[in-house]
């Protein structure tokens, strides 16, 4: 009973001095519950079957991500417990001096951990239940779902999962605390607060050399993921710049810690101004543990910035792309005149489709009981063509250089061609600019930013192409923006618009039909959409390579993928941000507790509260800003790499995503900094 009362007394004291620890636990529980309760929140939404499938896939992925998040939070809780125990070393020493056994101290910590766990779980689940209602509105908004049946929902499954995961975490903390106490020695506990980590003035020449080498290595890693990204022929090779970046970051922190101390001590006016010397020595006294901690926190912040920026960019860009890249309701396409060799060598084709490939596009559609005249309007039919011309042939003298620079590209792929009159009909329907040509000219149309610069180099060299014994030259020295295939992304790697007489039916490759629905209302369009989707169930579909793409399908897929990536990015980004900020905060609070005697000595020698608070503020600010600044530098190149990866999805909204990420950083990271400073002031103030 006595241990129980004592544990509650300690908890009340901890709430006052270490609010960040409890705040982080509660926040972790709430976020864990919110993202695992999405499945229950979406039950009441009125969405289509395909959207429901996407939501189910998203919740499954979030459940898997939760396992990883649990490991991060578990590490954070154990890390926090380490500092809390360290802060109470003298208290435990007094307990041992008064005759309390280590076993009873372990039981005391057991009751405290159990009580803290129950309190944080209760409060966190309560806050999570409230926030999950807001999350349901966010999910409904992203999936454009009907929320007329909105009711308050408490997810029992998410609650049970949260209790189980956090129960395991708290159990590990109890074991960790017991092991720690069993290894403690009385003399170490009583004099722990008087111990200061040895300040090592590292050799400035060695620090300078390591800093220069680390900066060069880091610059090379930056080059690999930006300027040299195209030299990464295998995705696994991205591990190389990651390893170099992590290693160089550690040694940059290591060398800067030694250089900064040496540099500041030689700047006499700055060093001896106010309490700067005290602040510098305070930072230096923890220099050995700071290097590793700063490296880990810096990398976590770097991942947070890149993940949040990229995730939000995908959602925004894909939604924005739909307006311009899918301006019509439906698109049909099929391959003509398949050969047995082609059918056997290309994925998705088989020899059963050969008979259908000899039919016109309309005949294939009709065989699936779909009447284009009944359901469609604004129809444009056209063909695309191929010849023996490969991509390498259209690059001219740039081919050799391109092959060295981009060795992984498929240069043997056949080029696609379209008649000028057909393209202008398509352009008019899609709202694109119509083109004009002389008899010996061609225009290259592309919108995929990864290919456009390569194509432009071929055009700048005035590379000719030969069709039906006639030679054609580029009208423009750069690609013209456009497409014929509706999509939610910029996927057109390039096709050639040529005069009509440059092509004949023997070169015909694929047939296309673009159109709008005759129905103009939302309900009418949905009915037509249902008829189109039923074509997949028709028996004839197994012997035809007819492909059907609709705007609604693209819209649902884009929204679904965008929402999925956004939620996973938010989940991981917020957890990483909270973890890095909480680790810094707990470390600073622990040091403030250890340094109460030193601040008391400052008061005795005449330092007023304003000077002391300024010194404390600077010390905490340096610890918070140092890893953030390095992480932001890393993020510039990290986002450039993400931008390269995201080119297919579109990166038009990347700046907006970066601004949103900055807001998250200011609110969460800045909030932790402010709370840390205020709590530290409370810890060091004279009683």
- In Å, how far are 1, 109, 116, 179 from 104, measured between CA atoms? 12, 9, 18, 13
Distance CA 153, CA 37 (A): 9
Distance CA 610, CA 613 (A): 5
Q: Which residue has the tokens 């125990």?
A: 85
Give the 3-state secondary structure percentages of the chain, helix then strand then coil, rounded to 5: 70, 10, 20
Question: So what's the pLDDT on residue 417?
Answer: 96
Distance CA 363, CA 206 (A): 78
Question: So what's the pLDDT on residue 394?
Answer: 92
Question: So what's the pLDDT on residue 51?
Answer: 67
Q: SS3 string of 328-397?
A: CCEEEEEECCCCHHHHHHCCCCCHHHCCHHHCCHHHHHHCCCCCHHHHEEEEEEEEEEEEEEEHHHHCCC
- In Å, how far are 53, 482, 504 from 434, measured between CA atoms? 40, 10, 22
Chain center to CA of 329:
31
Ranges assigned E (strand) in 426-584: 441-445, 465-467, 470-474, 495-498, 508-517, 547-550
What's this model's pTM, rounded to 2 decimal places? 0.71
Give per-10-residue mean pLDDT for the chain (687 aa).
62 63 82 80 58 74 82 77 67 68 71 76 86 73 60 78 83 75 60 52 76 89 70 60 87 77 68 69 64 83 84 68 84 87 75 83 89 91 92 91 82 92 94 92 90 91 92 93 87 92 90 92 86 86 87 80 77 83 80 74 77 82 86 86 64 70 85 85 71
Question: So what's the pLDDT on residue 201?
Answer: 56
Query: Mapping DSSP to helix (H, G, I), strand (E, B) and coil, where does residue 495 land?
Result: strand
């Amino acid at each position: 009973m006595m241990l129980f009362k004592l544990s509650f007394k300690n908890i009340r004291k901890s709430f006052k001095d270490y609010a960040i620890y409890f705040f982080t636990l509660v926040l972790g529980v709430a976020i864990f519950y919110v993202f695992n309760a999405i499945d229950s929140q979406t039950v009441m939404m009125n969405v289509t079957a395909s959207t429901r499938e996407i939501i189910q896939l998203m919740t499954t992925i979030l459940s898997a991500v939760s396992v990883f998040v649990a490991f991060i939070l578990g590490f954070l809780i154990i890390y926090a417990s380490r500092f809390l125990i360290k802060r109470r070393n003298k208290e435990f020493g007094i307990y041992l001096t008064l005759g309390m056994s280590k076993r009873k101290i372990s039981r005391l910590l057991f009751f405290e951990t159990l009580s803290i766990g129950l309190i944080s779980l209760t409060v966190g689940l309560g806050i999570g239940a409230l926030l999950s209602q807001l999350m349901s509105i966010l999910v409904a908004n992203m999936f454009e779902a009907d929320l007329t049946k909105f009711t308050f929902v408490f997810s029992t499954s998410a609650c049970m999962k949260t209790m189980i995961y956090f129960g395991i975490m708290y159990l590990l903390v109890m074991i960790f605390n017991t092991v720690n106490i069993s290894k403690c020695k009385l003399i170490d506990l009583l004099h722990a607060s008087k111990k200061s980590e040895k300040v090592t003035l590292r050799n400035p020449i060695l620090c300078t050399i390591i800093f220069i080498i680390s900066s060069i290595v880091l610059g090379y890693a930056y080059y690999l993921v930006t300027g040299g990204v195209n030299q990464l022929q295998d995705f696994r090779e991205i591990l190389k710049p990651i390893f170099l970046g992590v290693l160089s970051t550690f040694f940059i922190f290591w060398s800067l810690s030694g250089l900064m101390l040496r540099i500041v001590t030689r700047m006499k006016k700055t060093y001896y101004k106010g309490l700067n010397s005290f602040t510098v020595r305070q930072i230096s006294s923890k220099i050995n543990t700071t290097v590793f901690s700063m490296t880990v926190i810096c990398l976590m912040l770097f991942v947070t910035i890149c993940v949040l920026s990229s995730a939000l960019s995908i959602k925004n860009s894909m939604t924005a792309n739909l307006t311009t890249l899918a301006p019509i309701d439906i698109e049909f396409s099929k391959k003509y005149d398949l050969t047995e060799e082609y059918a056997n060598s290309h994925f998705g084709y088989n020899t059963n489709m050969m008979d259908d490939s000899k039919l016109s596009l309309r005949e294939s559609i009709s065989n699936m009981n779909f009447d284009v005249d009944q359901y469609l309007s604004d129809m444009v039919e056209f063909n695309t063509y191929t010849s023996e011309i490969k991509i390498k042939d259209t690059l001219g003298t740039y081919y050799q250089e391109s092959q060295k620079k981009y060795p992984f590209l498929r240069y043997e792929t056949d080029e696609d061609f379209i008649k000028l009159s057909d393209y202008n009909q398509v352009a008019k329907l899609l709202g694109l600019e119509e083109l004009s040509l002389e008899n010996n000219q061609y225009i290259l149309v592309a919108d995929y930013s990864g290919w456009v610069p390569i194509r432009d180099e071929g055009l700048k060299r005035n590379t000719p192409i030969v069709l039906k014994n006639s030679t054609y030259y580029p009208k423009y020295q750069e690609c013209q923006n456009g497409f014929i295939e509706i999509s939610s992304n910029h996927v057109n790697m390039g096709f050639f618009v040529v005069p009509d007489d440059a092509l004949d039916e023997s070169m015909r490759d694929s047939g296309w039909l673009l159109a709008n629905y005759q129905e103009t209302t939302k309900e009418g369009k949905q009915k037509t959409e249902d008829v189109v989707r039923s074509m997949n169930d028709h028996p004839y579909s197994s012997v035809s390579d007819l492909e059907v793409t609709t705007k609604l399908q693209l819209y649902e897929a884009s929204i679904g993928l965008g929402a999925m990536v956004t939620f996973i990015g938010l989940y991981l980004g917020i957890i990483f941000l909270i973890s890095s900020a909480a680790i810094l905060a707990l470390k600073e609070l622990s040091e403030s507790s250890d340094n109460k005697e030193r601040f008391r000595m400052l008061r005795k020698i005449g330092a007023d509260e304003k000077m002391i608070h300024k010194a404390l503020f600077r010390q905490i600010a340096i610890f918070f800003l140092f890893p953030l600044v390095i992480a932001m530098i890393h993020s510039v190149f990290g986002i450039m790499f993400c931008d390269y990866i995201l080119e297919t999805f579109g990166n038009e909204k990347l700046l907006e995503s970066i601004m949103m990420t900055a807001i998250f950083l200011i609110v969460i990271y800045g909030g932790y900094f402010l709370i840390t400073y205020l709590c530290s002031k409370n810890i060091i103030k004279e009683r």
